[in-house]
């Protein structure tokens, strides 16, 4: 047995066979080949394999999301059948006498570049599709796991790192757990795994990948952040016991369903859920959350090869609002950039992407994207109780501009006779020290604040949230963070706004009392933590 230690993301125990997903860049080597016929035959087989997978995905998406979302998989399938694409791969194999993986990548890249150079914007965006299809084909050639997840029922996906798009697309039924060599507790990959209640251990180190082979038996203890390769009988027993105790606790918490979030001395607080997809509504209902405190709308943009249309977004937001039947749904506008980089956005490479063009900065510099999203949001607002919030705010001018654009969008809808709700609450995320310092100026402009502690921690402590090496310097309970939250609460309340916390710290039960004493009005946590936080609130007596 071998043990590896990282950070546990969502408390659970899982056992299964490892499926090792190497990084795409690592998989493509240029190898000189004698038997080019064999390489071409491998391409033929991989194309058939990829087509089958795309057909499955098409059918799954058709059932879950509808024809327009499913269409992309049909388009990718057609590209695999395209004679020009196929000929260009064969020609690289024959002319350079190289392996199929390299030929697929090289031919795909040159085709993508020619699309990217076209005048027509629609054709230019097809470059991302070509790259996506080539990557899929390379993965099939390497006999890798499907990029959308593990192929074996109950497998444990092991990787160097996983982009948020892969986590969002994972088939939960097939994925018992995730283990990554890289990653930190507040990286988006970890947060999305937690939000989807997928047990995960991140940051176990490169040594893990060097030791693990596809098919190895592993056990994951995401309470302790431990991973066991070929676990012995004693470890198996101890972990099964841990799992049993956790299940018992979860079962006991079920008795709190339908109960109020009220402390012993009568202080009430809202407890809401954070999610990133419409499919997670089921988990929200199971958690008995009072609403959705954070819908990460950028998840609708991840794992796609083109911008979601206004209609696609409208359908998703409407489903959310209808699904929550009058309970509040707060949708955070597009927070793309930094670690979330869909190809089709064609974001410039930046030295420090977390300090670069991300979140609201993209929306304000590319207003056509922002307006499309706002139109979809306001249209959907007619179907329930919606709040909209804006990420990564640093200035009064940004909020003024946002409010101006919202008014423009509403005026356009009105002129077109399209209905929307006049009661949409508008809020901003408090994620930068600048926003806290000027919170007394920002609070009168909005209905609410929502503290994003993940970014607030990153920007206050000057610690990149993606970098596991600096975790010793990340004190999530740092006095500075707590003081900043308290200052924000004071500003909000002084100006008639309410304040919630939707970063990961909201689920930290060692701080629940502190937050209640600060007067925080709402905590929004991953669905799996709602009842746990309710339990703690109900045990507190703030009069003492
Ligand atoms: C945060 O920063 O705390 C937050 C909730 O937003 P995200 O984690 O998506 O950046
Ligand atoms: Mg954030």
Which of 431, 453, 458, 463 best tests ligand 1's pocket when mutated (most atoms within 8 Å of CB)?
Answer: 431
Question: Does residue 191 line the site of ligand 1, with CB under 6 A?
Answer: yes
Question: Does residue 454 line the site of ligand 1, with CB under 6 A?
Answer: yes
| Model confidence pLDDT, tens digit, residues 477-499 | 999 999 999 999 999 999 999 99
Can 188 be counted among the known catalytic residues? yes
Check pLDDT > 60 for residue 190. Answer: yes
Asked whether the whole model's pTM tops 0.85, one would answer no
Residue whose CA is closest, atom 1 of ligand 1? 452
Residue 120 CA to ligand 1 centre (angstroms)? 35
pLDDT at 25: 45
User: pLDDT band for position 24 (50/70/90)?
Assistant: very low
Residue whose CA is closest, atom 6 of ligand 1? 452
Question: Does residue 431 line the site of ligand 1, with CB under 6 A?
Answer: yes
Residue whose CA is closest, atom 3 of ligand 1? 452
For helices 479-494 and 453-461, angle between their N-to-C axes, nearest 10 degrees: 120
Task: Please give the number of the atom of ligand 1 that sits closest to the Cα of 504.
Answer: 3
Sheet containing strand 13-21, strands side by side: 2-5, 226-229, 217-221, 13-21, 155-159, 175-180, 200-202, 7-8
Assign residue 423 a region: left if phi > 0, alpha if psi is -120 to 50, beta otherwise? alpha
Backbone angles phi, psi at 111, to 5 degrees: -65, -45
| Model confidence pLDDT, tens digit, residues 135-187 | 888 888 876 544 445 445 778 999 888 877 778 778 888 889 999 998 888 88
Unique residue bearing structure tokens 């030791």: 211
Residue whose CA is closest, atom 4 of ligand 1? 452
pLDDT at 119: 81
Task: Please give the number of the atom of ligand 1 that sits closest to the Cα of 453.
Answer: 3
Q: What is the 3-state secondary structure of 349-398?
A: CCCCHHHCCCCHHHHHHCHHHHHHHHHHHHHHHHHCEEEEEECCCCCHHH
User: pLDDT band for position 57 (50/70/90)?
Assistant: confident
Residue 453 CA to ligand 1 centre (angstroms)? 7
Task: Please give the number of the atom of ligand 1 that sits closest to the Cα of 452.
Answer: 3
Tell me which of 158, 188, 363, 406 is the catalytic residue.
188
């Amino acid at each position: 047995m071998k043990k590896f230690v990282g950070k546990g993301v969502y408390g659970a125990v899982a056992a299964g066979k490892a499926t090792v997903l190497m990084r795409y860049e690592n998989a493509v080597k240029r190898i000189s080949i004698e038997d080019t016929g064999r390489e071409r035959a491998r391409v033929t087989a991989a194309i058939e394999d990829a087509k089958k997978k795309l057909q499955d995905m098409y059918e799954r998406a058709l059932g879950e999301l509808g024809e327009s979302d499913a269409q992309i998989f049909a388009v990718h399938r057609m590209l695999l059948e395209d004679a020009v694409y196929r000929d260009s791969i064969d020609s690289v194999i024959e002319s350079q006498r190289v392996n199929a993986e390299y030929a697929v990548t090289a031919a795909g890249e040159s085709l993508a570049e020619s699309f990217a150079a076209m005048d027509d914007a629609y054709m230019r965006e097809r470059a991302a599709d070509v790259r996506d299809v080539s990557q899929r084909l390379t993965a099939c050639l390497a006999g890798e796991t499907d990029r959308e997840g593990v192929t074996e029922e109950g497998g444990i996906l092991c990787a160097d790192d996983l982009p948020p798009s892969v986590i969002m697309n994972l088939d939960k039924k097939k994925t018992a757990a995730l283990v990554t060599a890289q990653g930190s507790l507040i990286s988006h990959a970890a947060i999305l795994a937690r939000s989807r209640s997928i047990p995960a251990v991140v940051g176990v180190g490169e040594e893990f990948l060097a030791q693990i082979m596809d098919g190895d038996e592993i056990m994951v203890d995401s309470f302790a952040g431990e991973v066991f390769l070929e676990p012995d009988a004693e470890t198996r027993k101890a972990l099964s016991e841990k799992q049993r105790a956790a299940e018992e606790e979860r079962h006991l918490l079920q008795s709190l369903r339908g109960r109020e979030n009220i402390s012993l001395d009568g202080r009430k607080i809202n407890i809401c859920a954070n999610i990133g997809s419409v499919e997670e509504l089921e988990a929200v209902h199971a958690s008995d959350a009072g609403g959705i405190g954070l819908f990460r709308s950028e998840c609708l943009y991840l794992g796609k090869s083109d911008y979601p249309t206004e209609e696609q977004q409208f359908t998703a937001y409407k489903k959310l609002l209808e699904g929550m039947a009058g309970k509040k749904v707060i949708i955070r506008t597009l927070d793309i950039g930094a670690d979330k980089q869909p190809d089709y956005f064609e974001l410039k490479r930046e030295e420090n992407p977390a300090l670069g063009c991300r979140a609201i900065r993209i929306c304000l510099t590319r207003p056509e994207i922002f307006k499309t999203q706002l139109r979809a949001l306001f249209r959907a607002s007619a179907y329930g109780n919606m709040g909209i919030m804006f990420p990564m705010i640093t200035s009064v001018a940004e909020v003024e501009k946002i409010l101006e654009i919202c008014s423009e969008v509403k005026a356009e809808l009105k002129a077109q006779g399209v209905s929307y709700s006049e009661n949409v609450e508008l809020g901003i995320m408090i994620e930068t020290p600048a926003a806290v310092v000027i919170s007394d100026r920002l609070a009168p402009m909005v209905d609410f604040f929502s503290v994003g502690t993940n970014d607030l921690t990153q920007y206050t402590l000057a610690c990149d949230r993606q970098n596991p090496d600096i975790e010793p310097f990340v004190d999530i309970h740092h006095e500075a963070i707590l003081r900043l939250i308290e200052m924000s609460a004071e500003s909000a309340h002084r100006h008639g706004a309410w304040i919630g916390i939707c970063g990961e710290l909201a689920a930290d039960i060692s701080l629940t009392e502190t937050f209640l004493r600060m007067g925080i009005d709402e905590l929004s946590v991953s669905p799996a933590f709602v009842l746990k936080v309710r339990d703690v609130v109900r045990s507190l007596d703030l009069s003492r």
